[in-house]
Amino acid sequence: NPDSVFQFYYETLQFTSMMLAKIKKLQSCPGSTEFKLLILCLKCQSLLNVKLYSLKIKEI
């Protein structure tokens, strides 16, 4: 079901956004574990946005 797939990706994107907001508050220095987690969250968000975009394009 395309709607449930889209919903799953969207909820995952919201979760990573929430985690990203919490990590940003830590003000971590480059090289720290928090900074690496921040970069990983940004990469995940990017991939999720690309997938959501491709799902929307297929619907149109």
| pLDDT score recorded for residue 3 | 86
Report helix, strand and coil shares of the chain as percent, to nearest 5: 85, 0, 15
Which pLDDT band holds residue 12 (cuts at 50, 70, 90)? very high
Which pLDDT band holds residue 17 (cuts at 50, 70, 90)? very high
Q: Nearest-CA neighbor of 41 among 26, 56, 58, 59? A: 26
pLDDT at 60 over 80: no
Question: Tell me: the pLDDT tens digits for 21-54?
Answer: 888 887 778 888 888 888 899 999 999 999 999 9
